[in-house]
Every structure is written in C-alpha cells, then in structure tokens.
C-alpha cells in the first residue's frame, strides 16, 4: 500500500473531524447570538470578549454534570443511542469534496477522504441510519415522552427521505453521475444547479430541515408537548452528544446542499486561478456557501413557528413527494429532448 | 490481511449476529441484531466490489424496512407478560421440522462446495453502478420491467388496503 496516501488520508480525516466539531461548537454560539439579534437581545456575552468562549464553557458544564441513567432503562442501548447519533453525523463528511486538488511535497492531494462512485447514495445510506440513534435512545430511556419523540422522529424521517431521494435523483439525472466529485465538476464556474432546478432545491431544502430535526420540523423534541422528546431522560455529555449531533448534521447537510445546488467549491471566475491558489480559494468559496446556508437554517428556526404533526405529514406526503415526482418527470423529458432520444 | 481471511471473519460474524437474532430474549434486541447482520452482509458485498448493491442493501433494508419493524415493536411494547404461551407439542414439532430442513439443506449444499470454489468476478469493476445499469437496461430489460410492474401492483394493493372504506348508504 502507498504509505503517503495512507498518511494524507489520515491527516485529512482527522482535520475533518476537528473542523466538523469546531464548526458545530461555534454554531451553538452563533445560534444564540443570532436568536438574540432577531429578538433584540444581547445574547451570551460573559465568557471572553463578545462571549466568544461560550461553547467551551458549555462543553465544560456538560462534562461536569451528573451522568444519570434511569432505573428501568436498557443500559447498553441507552449509551448506544447518542453514540450512533454522533457517529452518523460525522460519517457523512467522508465523501464530500472540499476543494480542488492541492499539490504539496510533489504530490497531488485530493481534498476528499473517499471518492466512492456511489457518493450521494452513501450519504443517503448514512442519513437513513441516523434515525436509529434517536429511536434507540428514545426507546431505551423507558419514558413515554422519550418514546413519543422517538416514534415521531422515525415517522418524520421516513416520510421526508422519500421526497429528498427523488429530488436528489433529479440532480443525478442532470449530472449523469452518483459521485459527488462529478456532480461538483458538472457545475463548473457559475453553472449551478439551482438556476436549472429551483423547485428541486426548495423540496430538498425543506426535507433537509426535516431530516436534521430543525425548527419548524423539530417535533421529535417539541418541548411544549413532549418536555424534551427523545432526550428527556438524558443528562451530561450523553445529552451533549445528541445536541451536538444536530449541529454537526446541520453543517454536513449544508455542505451537501451546497454541493448539489450551489456548485460546491466552484465560484465565478475560477479559471483565472490555478494550482494551490485555486485550491485555497475553492475551499474558502465552499465554506462561505456552507456558512450562508447554516445562517439560513438558523434564521428559519427563529422566524417560523413549529408545525402540528398532521400538518407535517400532510406537507411531506401530499405536497413534497408529488411535487418532486412531477419535477423529476419534467426533467427527464427535457433531457430526453436535448439528447435527441425523442423526436417529433 | 488477505481478502479470503477477511471474508471468513466477516462471514463468521454474520452468522453469529444472525444467531443472536434468534437467541435474543427481547424482540427489540433481535431487530437490532438483524440490522447488524444486514451491515455485515453489506460489507461482504463491498469485499466483492459490489458497492451499489451494498449501499442499496443498507438504504432499503437497514434504513427503511428495519426502521418500520422497530417502529411497530415500539408501539406494541412487548414484554414477558404479553408473550404467548406456546404448548410443548408445538415446540417439539418445530424442533423436528427445522432438523429435517437442516438435513435437506446439508444434502443440497454437500456437492456445491466442490463446484463453486471462491467464485470471484473476473472483471474487477463488474459491480459498479455503470456496469450494473448497462446490464439492467440492456441484457435484463424484460425481467427488470416485469419486476417494476410487480412493485406497482403491490403499491396499488397497499394503498387499497390502507384506504378507509366508504360507508355504505342505502
């Protein structure tokens, strides 16, 4: 085996791990600052200048709390739940292309941990496993509110996965490949998918909100009805892992949306750069897109009230799925005309 | 580590997990072990370079069908008290029946060991999406379309069953 390749992949994976966790930690801070700004408050400002050390203080607090397990809880599954939630949130970033190739020490390094040819399916596989963390955690707590939360989470995720998958198929048809790298390359420069597929983008974005359990789709943890939903019985760092997994999931789904609809690391005028300059600029462009999307995620949370559960199911099954199927069929017809498979 | 050794280890783990599905006392644990089994089967597919099959196995079985299983089990809330009392005679007859099934299976697979030594695909990337799509839409187009008609039929059936019956008005 090529040792250099092994080392560069290990470094890249570690870096990704640290960056995902760091961004998730600071997302909590920005979420609170943004909420404060929208609600005309100051927000956290005690720890460090502008409260910049708040995530560290929160982390320390989480670790210092008593780690409590309910009496009749299934002990192993109770531990497994948050573990799976965090694991699946972090796994997805393995197939994301973060930028163009870098040349360092005479080697060309691809800024992607694994360029598997099933890229987008890999992401869907991981998302579909993600629900187990919530389900197992909610069931193992042996609490009716937790179980309600778990059941709501699973039915919500199953419903929205369908529309999400169909709108992803539309994008796959546009680019002709399942690999995320090819999808990004097909949107070179300013040739982004959002200009061709605005309906598809809206469907995908709404589904991404639902899949990450963000407001207005945060019914699994709906505090006004279910106390805390699936994490009612959790405390200490186990609760921390659940909350953190949500923010990592938000980061990763923003990255996926940026890849599918906003051209990933492409930016207008990228042809006038080359080599490492291009690589750095592309990474910067990609992260800018991700941060804007995270901002929109938070903006929605503090603007739109929560759905009722029947409204959620209605939206998922009767609006988004038919919309995405019609969109997919129309795209298919247009592609068939362009390729000359159908002629009048 | 060679591929053969890896295959053996994963195969052993798969059988172990599958046994745990049957042995586990609690239905939820059984389902969780079944999910583990699906993952191990998917890793066997990856060893055979069939990435598409592996990920579809995870999405469809581990990601969708088993979630529904868990969902139903959570709603049922099975425990020791709700376990049905099986009469002794049923237990004995099921042991005899499965023993006979084992005998038949051994008889059937006895000769196949010699026939199929490790049958690795000659072409390395046969399981990749592109080749699979080519095969499905050219060589096996008729069976593919027939199976999709079957799927539509079952979907229509499911919708009909789920639909509320209209009240009969005289």
The full 3-state SS of A5-38, as one line of letters, equals HHHHHHHHHHHHHHHHHHHHHHHHHHHHHHHHHH
Render pLDDT for B41-94 as a digit per residue (tens, 0 to 9): 998 888 877 788 888 888 888 888 888 888 888 777 666 666 667 778 888 898
pLDDT for res B100: 93
Q: Is A154 at the interface with chain B, CB within 8 A?
A: yes
Question: Is the per-residue pLDDT at B165 higher than 80?
Answer: no
Residues in contact with B68: Cβ distance below 8 Å, sequence separation at least 6, in sequence order: A158
Of A220, A245, A294, A218, nearest in space to A81 by CA: A245
Note the pLDDT tens digit of each residue in A184-212.
888 877 778 888 888 888 889 988 888 88
Q: What is the mean pLDDT of residues B93-114?
A: 85
Give the pLDDT of residue B101.
93
Question: Closest partner residue to B62 among A116, A129, A139, by Cβ?
Answer: A129
Asked whether the beta carbons of A220 and A309 are under 8 A apart, the reply is: no
Please say if the pLDDT value at position A100 is more than 80: no
The C-alpha of A95 sits at a distance from chain B's nearest C-alpha, in angstroms, of 14
User: What pLDDT does residue A126 have?
Assistant: 86
B149 pLDDT band (50/70/90 cuts)?
very high
CA angle B79, B30, B25 (to 5 degrees): 45
Chain B residues whose CB is inside 8 A of the A116 CB are: 51
Q: Among A70, A31, A14, which residue's Cα sits nearest to residue A212? A: A31
Cα distances (Å, whole numbers) of residue A313 to A44, A156, A220, A310: 36, 7, 13, 5
Question: Cα–chain-centroid distance for residue B82?
Answer: 27
The whole-angstrom separation of Cα B9 and Cα B17 is 12
* Percent of chain B at pLDDT exceeding 90: 16
To the nearest whole angstrom, how far is the Cα of A118 from the nearest Cα of chain B? Answer: 7
What residues in B contact A178, CB-CB < 8 Å?
129
**Is some CB atom of chain A closer than 8 A to the CB atom of B71?**
yes
Whether residue B49 lies within 8 A of chain A, CB to CB, comes out as: no
What lies within 8 Å, CB to CB, of A196 at 6+ separation is: A174
Q: What is the pLDDT of residue A243?
A: 84
The shortest C-alpha distance from A62 to chain B (Å) reads 29
Predicted local confidence at residue B103, as pLDDT: 92
d(CA A249, CA A240) in angstroms, rounded, equals: 14
Runs of H (alpha helix) within A92-179:
119-140, 144-175
């Amino acid at each position: 085996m090529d040792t250099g390749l092994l080392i560069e992949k290990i470094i890249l994976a570690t870096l990704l791990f640290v960056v995902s966790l760091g961004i998730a930690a600071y997302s909590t801070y920005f979420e609170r600052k943004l909420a404060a700004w929208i609600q005309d408050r100051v927000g956290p400002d005690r720890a460090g200048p502008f409260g910049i050390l708040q995530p560290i203080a929160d982390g320390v607090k989480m670790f210092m709390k008593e780690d409590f397990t309910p009496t009749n809880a299934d002990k192993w599954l109770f531990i497994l739940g948050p573990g799976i939630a965090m694991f699946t949130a972090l796994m997805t970033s393995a197939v994301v292309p973060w930028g163009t190739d870098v040349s360092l020490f005479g080697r060309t390094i691809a800024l992607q941990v694994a360029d598997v040819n099933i890229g987008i399916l890999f992401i869907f596989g991981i998302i579909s496993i993600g629900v187990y963390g919530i389900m197992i955690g909610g069931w193992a707590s042996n609490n009716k509110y937790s179980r309600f939360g778990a059941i709501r989470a699973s039915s919500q995720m199953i419903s929205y996965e369908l529309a999400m998958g169909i709108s992803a198929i539309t994008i796959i048809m546009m680019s002709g490949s399942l690999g995320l790298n090819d999808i990004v390359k097909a949107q070179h420069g300013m040739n982004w998918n959002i200009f061709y597929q605005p309906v598809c983008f809206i469907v995908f974005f709404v589904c991404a909100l639902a899949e990450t359990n963000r407001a207005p789709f945060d019914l699994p943890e709906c505090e006004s009805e279910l106390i805390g939903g699936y994490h009612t019985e959790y405390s200490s760092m186990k609760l921390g892992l659940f909350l953190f997994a949500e923010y990592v999931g938000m980061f990763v789904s923003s990255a996926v949306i940026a890849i599918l609809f906003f051209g990933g690391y492409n930016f207008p005028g990228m042809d006038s750069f080359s080599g490492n300059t291009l690589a750095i600029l592309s990474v910067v462009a990609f992260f800018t897109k991700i941060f804007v999307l995270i901002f929109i995620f938070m903006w929605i949370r503090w603007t739109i009230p929560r759905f009722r559960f029947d409204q959620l199911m209605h939206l998922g099954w009767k609006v988004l799925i038919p919309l995405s199927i019609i969109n997919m069929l129309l795209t298919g017809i247009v592609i068939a005309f362009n390729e000359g498979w159908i002629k009048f | 580590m060679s591929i053969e050794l890896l295959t053996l280890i994963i195969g052993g783990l798969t059988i172990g997990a599958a046994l745990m599905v049957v042995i586990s006392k609690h239905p939820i644990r059984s389902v969780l072990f079944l999910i583990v089994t699906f993952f191990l089967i998917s890793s066997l597919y990856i060893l055979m370079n069939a990435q598409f099959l592996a990920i579809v196995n995870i999405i469809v079985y581990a990601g969708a069908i088993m979630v529904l299983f868990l969902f139903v089990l959570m709603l049922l809330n099975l425990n020791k008290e709700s376990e049905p009392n099986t009469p002794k005679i049923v237990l004995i007859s099921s042991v005899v029946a499965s023993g006979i099934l084992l005998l038949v299976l051994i008889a059937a697979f006895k000769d196949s060991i010699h026939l199929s030594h490790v049958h690795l695909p000659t072409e390395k990337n046969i399981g990749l999406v592109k080749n699979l799509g080519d095969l499905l839409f050219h060589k096996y187009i008729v069976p593919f379309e027939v199976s999709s008609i079957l799927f539509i039929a079952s979907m229509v059936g499911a919708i009909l069953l789920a639909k509320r019956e209209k009240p009969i008005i005289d």
